Amino acid sequence: MTQYLIRRLLISIPLFFGITLIVYGIYALAPGDPLTAILGRDKMALMSPAQIEKMRHDFGFDQPVIVRYAIWLGSALHGDLGYPTTGSKSVLENLQERLGPTLLLMAVSLVLALLFGIPMGIIMALKQYSAIDYILTVIAFANLSIPSFFLGLGMIYIFSLKLNWLPTFGMSTVGDPFSWGDLARHLVMPSMILGIFNAGVWARYTRSSMLEVMHADYVTVARAKGLQERVVIFRHAFRNALLPLITIVSQSLPGLLGGAVITETIFQWPGMGMLSWRATINRDYAVLMGVTLISALMILTSNLIADLAYAWADPRIKYD
């Protein structure tokens, strides 16, 4: 296990550098002069060529791209991700502020997706080829196929505009003191919309995984022992069917973070997704680099944790 752990950690190092390389690479694709992008055309026009040359040198823009990458990486490793084009807070401070709301949203949507998806999958597997199986299959596919923004608009239309039950934007009602109930009401729609895709994925996954396990020899043995069907299903089949879910859940993280961009934009949820959308509209590269870098590192870490958790949970994994 220790050896596996070390191996797995070591392989994360090139991945980390790969991630930073891609983030910087996309940025380096930007057309036009980086100094103009920072200072703006008007300011540049007022400066003498010598001044411009000096600033170019101070920012390091006269260096080759690989050196600039190294400089950026160096400061990023020290937590310096630069400053956005607007506001006085650094990119890192912005991210710290936005991380909490996004993680909350993602966590709630994950739990919702698991609560809906897994029971759905189990029912489908136990009633294979029945009418229920068909109906749930169609529902699961609908979950996979409905665009989150369309569902979001539909839900706002029904639950906010027509029924007036749920708030349409933000994390809390403006002017009201903080309360958990208020936060929960604001969370309902965004988290459902963010979670619906995964609920469909996991329902389908659980179905096929359960079916596979139900035909495994050890389940037949459990039945042959005369165990109750309930025990066979939940103690023997279910546990093994859900084991790979550790990996599947971890693999859903990129999708959740990407989906957060849409969900947060629709519901004005003050998280990283909305931050990155705003930054795109403002062409705020420092923020975009920061958000992308942090998201990728979060995913890298969670994949690592998931692999280790899986190795711990499934003794069949060989550590070589």
Partner 1 sequence: MSDSSTVSAPATEKQVQNNLELRSKSQAPSRRVLRKFFRHRLAMFGLGLLVIITVLAVFAPVFAGYDYAEQDLKNTRQPPSATHILGSDSFGRDVWSRMLYGGRVSLQVGLLAVGVYIALGILLGSLAGYYGGVVDFIIMRGVDVVLCFPTLMVIIFAVAILGPSLTNTIIVIGLLGWPGPTRLVRGQILSIREMDYIMAARSVGIPDRRAILRHVLPGVLPPLIVSATFGVAGAILTEAALSFLNLGIRPPEPSWGNMLSQAQELVILEQQLWLWLPPGLAIMLAVLCINFIGDGLRDAIDPRQRDY
147 binding partner 1? (CB under 8 A): yes
CA distances from 279 to 68, 80, 87, 200, 276 (A): 22, 18, 12, 31, 5
29 binding partner 1? (CB under 8 A): yes
Question: What amino acid is encoded at 258 in this protein?
Answer: G
Q: Give the nearest distance from C-beta 180 to partner 1 in angstroms.
A: 28
Under a CB-based contact definition with an 8 Å cutoff, are residues 21 and 69 in contact?
yes
CA distance 186 to 170: 7
Under a CB-based contact definition with an 8 Å cutoff, are residues 302 and 103 in contact?
no
* Tokens 């990023």 belong to residue: 76
CA atoms within 13 A on the CB side of 103: 11
249 binding partner 1? (CB under 8 A): no
Binding partner 1 by CB under 8 A: which of 166, 223, 308, 310?
A: 223
The first and second tokens of residue 131, run together, are 């009418």
In the complex with partner 1, the residue whose CB is nearer, 47 or 301, is: 301
Letters for 61-100 (x = contact with partner 1 by CB under 8 A, - = none) are ----------------------------------------
Question: What amino acid is encoded at 256 in this protein?
Answer: L
Binding partner 1 by CB under 8 A: which of 83, 202, 238, 285?
A: 285
Binding partner 1 by CB under 8 A: which of 85, 137, 173, 240?
A: 137
169 binding partner 1? (CB under 8 A): no
Of 181, 155, 191, 208, the residue nearest 269 (C-alpha) = 191
Binding partner 1 by CB under 8 A: which of 35, 276, 286, 307?
A: 276
Neighbours of 159 (CB within 10 A): 16
Residues in the site for partner 1, rule: CB under 8 A?
11, 14-15, 18-19, 22, 26-27, 29-31, 126-130, 137-138, 141-142, 144-150, 153-154, 156-157, 161, 211-212, 214-215, 223, 229-230, 233, 253-259, 261-262, 265-266, 273, 276-277, 279-281, 283, 285, 288-289, 291-292, 295-297, 299-300, 303
